[in-house]
Amino acid sequence: MATRDAGAVPGGWQVQRIRIGDTDYPYYYGIDCLDLVLQELAALDTDLFVVVTDDTVLGLHGQALLPGLRALARVEVISHPPGESMKTLPVLTADLERVLAAGATRRSVVIGLGGGVPGNLAGVIAALLFRGVRLVHIPTTTTAAMDSVLSLKQAINSTIGKNHIGTYLPPYAVFTDVALLATLPDRELRSGLCEAAKNCLAIRPQTLPRLRAVLADGELSAPEALLWLLDESVRAKSSVTVNDAREQRTGLVLEYGHTVGHAVELADHRRRGSDGVSHGEAIAFGMVVAATIAHRRGWLSEDVVQLHEEVVGALGAPLRLPEGITVDTVMDVVRDDNKRGYLPPCTESIAFVLLRDLGSPAGDPELPLVAVLLSEIREALEVVQERQPVLTGADDNGRAELG
C-alpha cells in the first residue's frame, strides 16, 4: 500500500512510498517543483539520461527540463509524434539501437517524460537495456500521474492488439509537478481523470461524493483538486496491488472498463491516428458498457448505470461510440483482449471485469474476472448506442458539452 512520510519534503513537495508486492519506490509530488526534481536526479550519478517523450510534450516542457539535465550529464532525447504509433516493435528496435549508439551503459537512466504512451515505451527500453537500467517517470498528464506510473507493467503494442508485448520493471522514482498537469488542455485534463473516476467506482466508492462535488465545481485544474485526485488514485491502486505486483490477481480490478475501452481506443487510433479518442475517454466509455452488461445480468441497478453515465459525461468523455466506429469494428478488436488465458478458453466468451455493486467486482476476490459472452458485449454496445444520454447538454456523439 502507499504510506505518506511524516510531513512534507523540505522545499515544498510530499512523498509517498509505493509498495507493490516486494517492490518499494518513492513517489514525489508538489507544485512548481522541477528544481527539486533536478536535485534528486543529480544524486543518481549517471553517465547518460535517455529522455523518452513525444513531440508535443517536448515542445511544451523540454526547455524547462533539458537544460538542467544537461548540466548534470549527457542527454539523449528520443521523441516521436504523439500517439499509439510509438508503441510498436519497429520503433522500439530503432530506439534501442540509437540509445546504444549514444553510449548507454548500466549506469544510464531512462526518463519517461509525458503521458502513458512515452512512459510505457521508456519502461520497455529501460527493462531491455543491459537486462534492466534505472527508470524514472516524470508524468505530464493526469492519466500517467494517476494511473500508469502506479504500476510495474511496461508494454508496447503488437499488430494484433494493445499491450501484448512487455515486462515488469519498477521505476526508481516518480516525480510529478502538478503545475504541469494544470497546463493541460481541458479535454486532455478531463480524459486523464477518467482513470481516477474508475478507481472511485470500482475500488473506493466512499470517495464518490467528493468526486461528484469536484466535477460539479468544474475547477479540475485547481492544484487542490488535482492533489486530492492524485492522492486518491495512489490509495486506490496501492490497495489492490500491494500483494499483487504483476496485477494478475486482485489488481485485475484495475482493468475495469478496459476490455471494450482498449478496443475502442485502438480502433479509433487506427482510423484517425492521434486525433482519435484518448485512452481515458475510451476507458470511461468501456465502464458504461461494463455497467450495462452487469445491469442486464441483474447485478447493477439502473441508478448505478446512470451514475456511471453521469460521471463519464461530466468528464467530457463519450457516451456513445466515436463517429465512424461501429459495433462490428469494436467486436473485431475486443476478441484479442490481453486478458486471454486467465479463465478457461472459450471461443464464445472473454474475461471481463464486472461489478456486482460499486466497489465490489464479480468473480473470485483473488481473480475478479468473469466470462462474458461475445453476444452479451455486442448487445450491450447496441443498447448504449441507442440509449438517450443522461446529460441534456450532450452533443451528437454523446459527449457532454461542458462550459
| 186-232+240-386 classified as CATH 1.20.1090.10 | yes
Question: Which of these ranges, 113-127, 178-192, 339-353, has the smallest mean pLDDT?
Answer: 178-192
HSE at residue 13, side-chain half, CA atoms within 13 A, is 22
Q: Is 401 a catalytic residue?
A: no
Q: What is the pLDDT of residue 390?
A: 55
For β-strands 165-168 and 109-114, DSSP reports them as unpaired
Q: What is the pLDDT of residue 242?
A: 85
Calpha distance 315→133 (Å, rounded): 37
HSE at residue 334, side-chain half, CA atoms within 13 A, is 28
Name the phi and psi angles at 335, rounded to 5. -65, -25
Contact assessment for residue 17 and residue 3, using Cβ atoms and an 8 Å cutoff: yes
One-letter amino acid for residue 10 of the chain: P
* Residue of 87, 153, 198, 237 with catalytic role: 153
* Residue of 76, 84, 188, 255 with catalytic role: 255
2-182 and 186-232+240-386: identical CATH topology: no
For β-strands 109-114 and 134-139, DSSP reports them as parallel
Q: What is the pLDDT of residue 226?
A: 86
Domain boundaries, the chain: 2-182, 186-232+240-386
Chain segment 187-231, per-residue pLDDT in tens: 888 887 898 999 999 999 999 999 999 888 877 888 888 888 888
pLDDT of residue 6 exceeding 50: no
Calpha distance 278→262 (Å, rounded): 10
- Taking each continuous run of H as one helix and of E as one strand, the counts in the chain are 14, 14
pLDDT of residue 30 exceeding 90: no
Chain segment 372-392, per-residue pLDDT in tens: 999 999 999 999 999 866 543
Choosing among 3.40.50.1970, 3.10.20.30, 3.20.20.70, 1.20.140.10, the CATH entry for 2-182 is 3.40.50.1970
Name the strand (E) or helix (H) holding 242: none
pLDDT band per the 50, 70, 90 thresholds, residue 1? very low
Q: What is the pLDDT of residue 348?
A: 92
Q: What angle do CA 167, 107, 95 make, to 5 degrees?
A: 55
Chain segment 150-169, per-residue pLDDT in tens: 989 999 999 988 899 999 99
Q: What is the pLDDT of residue 389?
A: 61
Chain segment 241-300, per-residue pLDDT in tens: 888 888 889 999 999 999 999 999 999 999 998 789 988 999 999 999 999 999 999 999
Question: Helix or strand or coil: residue 367?
Answer: strand
